Amino acid sequence: MMSPARSLGDHLREWRQRRRLSQLEFALEADVSQRHLSFIESGRSLPSREMLMHLAERLGIPLRERNPMLLAAGFAPVFPERKLDDPALAPARRAIDMILKGHEPFPALAVDRHWTLVAANAAVAPLLAGVVDTSLTEGPINVLRLSLHPQGLAPRIANLAEWRSHLLERLRQQISATGDLLLARLLEELSAYPAPATQKATPEQDFAGIAVPLELVTEAGQLSFLSTTTVFGTPVDVTLSELAIESFFPANPQTAEALRATLPGV
């Protein structure tokens, strides 16, 4: 038996509650009357497409979830979802490749909304040498699973307890923001991996709380990285809105020298 279609009010109420906002709080945030918002959620009033897009923007609803809201309100979807190899996204793909290549000899990679590897530069592959379970490095590669799996990179992460806690918290925040069930299942899987003993950061690893380093033991010695995340600023495509580029920077001169030696031509 098919479940009944969800109304616009159902969609809007769920996202408002996910953001932990009362009707009054959200009405003030969106600069609309609480009465009007109540009528929209109850189905007594149908907003214009512009008003609906405004409410979705104020709630930070992912583009993927805005299309079903538009359909529920009787409007056509606005945001296309195309594969990254679609000719229409060629300029974006070139920009991604340029960013990844330009970051060498330091590692950088692009992932989709489920942390599946989309692209990586030449500095990433040497860091994966020695992964016991080769299925973790065969496509499609889930970056979080590869990082925390006991037969993946986990045995070579010197500060595994700290790094694991950091990744799981990022995943929890992403689930809270998107409500993605696949991410929730991924979190359940990763949380079940053997947890290491709590580690204390050494003075060299202490970045005053502004960043969590990745300390990776490699054939070139222990490398220390800081990471940043880059996203498209004003995407109008679902695929691009969910894409992130993770760039790793050397946290000390020794790491920078080791990476330059690995890719001497860069």
Q: What pLDDT score was predicted for residue 1?
A: 42
Q: Which residue has the higher pLDDT, 139 or 65?
A: 65
Q: Is the pTM of this model over 0.85?
A: yes
- Say if residue 3's pLDDT is above 50: no
Q: Calculate the dihedral angle through the C-alpha atoms of 172, 123, 217, 212, rounding to the nearest 10 degrees.
A: -40
Write down all domains in the chain, each with its CATH number in brackets.
Answer: 8-72 (1.10.260.40), 87-262 (3.30.450.180)
What rounded mean pLDDT belongs to the chain? 91
Number of helical H runs and strand E runs in the chain: 11, 5
Q: Is 248 in a helix, a strand, or coil?
A: strand
Cβ neighbours, 10 Å, residue 208: 5
pLDDT band at 31 (very low <50, low <70, confident <90, very high): very high
pLDDT band at 201 (very low <50, low <70, confident <90, very high): very low
Task: Give the residue-averaged pLDDT of 12-32.
Answer: 95
Q: What pLDDT score was predicted for residue 114?
A: 97
The string of pLDDT tens digits covering residues 68-125 is: 999 999 999 999 999 999 999 999 999 999 999 999 999 999 999 999 999 999 999 9
Q: Is 224 in a helix, a strand, or coil?
A: strand
The string of pLDDT tens digits covering residues 35-52 is: 999 999 999 999 999 999
Q: What pLDDT score was predicted for residue 196?
A: 81
Per-residue b/e over 244-261, b at no fewer than 16 CB within 10 Å? Answer: bbbbbbbbbeebbebbee
E-state strands within 176-259: 214-218, 221-231, 244-250
Report the C-alpha gap between 110 and 102 in whole angstroms: 13
The string of pLDDT tens digits covering residues 172-200 is: 999 999 999 999 999 999 999 998 876 55
Question: Token pair 């690995």 is at which residue?
Answer: 262
Question: How wide is the angle at C-alpha 183 spanned by C-alphas 250 and 70, nearest 5°?
Answer: 115
* Among 99, 72, 48, residue whose Cα is nearest residue 228: 99
Q: What pLDDT score was predicted for residue 198?
A: 63
pLDDT band at 139 (very low <50, low <70, confident <90, very high): confident
